[in-house]
Amino acid sequence: MSAILGCLLSYLIGSIPTGLILGKLLWGVDLREHGSHNIGATNAWRTLGKGPGIIIFLLDFLKGVIGVALGMYFAGTPLMMVLGGIMAIVGHSWSILLKFKGGKGVATGLGVIVMLMPSTALMVFLIWFVIVLITKYVSLGSIVAAACVPLFAWLFNQPCEYIVFSVLAAVFVIYRHKTNIGRLLNGTESKIKAGHRT
């Protein structure tokens, strides 16, 4: 019963649409009506500016941290910690408050990875940062970084549960970026640029 409760709470916390709520309350903007129409940090950065983008990123990141922490609190096993993190990502991506729509799960997923595998998280963040710095494509950085998570999890001898999670998370993030992949291939993907509503 405690495991079910932990997963449910993780999902509900993940479901809180922080980008949508803050965009409306603080800046009077519905992120779903601008840019990529996504409620996550990248669209917030492009639409509202660097500060709002960073704030929304950190709040979405915190969802993943809390998800793993709840799994640790209710059971304390690697499997339950992974499940708590997964449910936070699922909540963020398919929010019950948004008719089961949501973000792409990158920031929330990074929060999960930081809690489970900090060394792996550091490596994939550096990879993401370098790619985005050079190319200005956040989506490309996210896709490549996600693909690298299982590799570093394996190289750092992480528990089996974490490696399986890494594979599932990588597939999930890449799948959620399928439209971005199409735009990258045909040269129409938007580069990161702060604070321009479109």
| Of 130, 128, 123, 125, the residue nearest 141 (C-alpha) | 128
pLDDT band at 198 (very low <50, low <70, confident <90, very high): very low
User: No. of H helices and E strands in the chain?
Assistant: 10, 0
pLDDT tens digits, one per residue of 141-173: 999 999 999 999 999 999 999 999 999 999 999
The structure tokens listed for 46 are: 């492009």
The structure tokens listed for 76 are: 């304390």
pLDDT tens digits, one per residue of 80-132: 999 999 999 999 999 999 999 998 889 999 999 999 999 999 999 999 999 99
* Contact (CB, 8 A) for 145 and 183: no
pTM for this structure? Answer: 0.90
Please report, for the chain, the start and end positions of each structural domain, with discontinuous segments joined by +.
1-186
The structure tokens listed for 99 are: 């008719």
Kind and range of the H or E run holding 33: none
Exposed / middle / buried, residue 183 (Cβ in 10 Å: 0-12, 13-18, 19+): middle
Mean of the per-residue pLDDT values for the chain? 92
